[in-house]
Structure 1
Amino acid sequence: MMKKYQVSIDFSWDDEFMTLVPAHRTYINYLINKDIVEYYAVSMEKRRTWITINAEDKETVEAYLIKSPLYKYWTYEIDELFVLDGHGFRLPSLQMN
């Protein structure tokens, strides 16, 4: 059964980091298109990234993370989520004509 995990990543960056961003975005887009990544957010101000991932276990999550070209710049935590709710998970509201 698929579970949801929240990955909180702190990163450092330099000139090489910036050259790897396009390849990393291609990889993230691939994971989004495969419904593996649900949410991806980055704060350059805090140098922090948050990724919500669908996976069977933490080892699978880590296997996805390791494949990123930016992996060597990261320190991260993986937390299994009990609840993930929000507007995007709700049915559209009915519009009566």
Structure 2
Amino acid sequence: MVDVKKVSLLVKKRIRSPFYEAAPRLGLERFYEDAYRMLWVEAERELGRSFTPQERVDLMKELESVVHVEVDGVHYFFAPSLEDYWYEVSELIEERFQ
């Protein structure tokens, strides 16, 4: 017998499309909105290093401000709040790389 549990999801704001998509195994990534990409550009400039798609995916999977969905090895990230995303990514990069 399978133990079935009820699960619910409360969505506070409709998010129509991801801000970032990556297929790390293929080394491919795409930011759909420049505001989300610019944080990484600034971090790379400050640190003097580049982040791989896999590093970005691994870091963003830890964020509470984004929703992550993986389908057939392609990772999609959605964020209802650009401000929360910027804050969390900045803190995580500073903690890990500085």
- TM-score past 0.5 threshold: no
Whichever structure has more strand as a proportion of its residues is 1
Q: Identify, as 1 or 2, the structure richer in helix.
A: 2
Structure ranking higher on relative contact order (CA contacts 8 Å, 6+ apart): 1
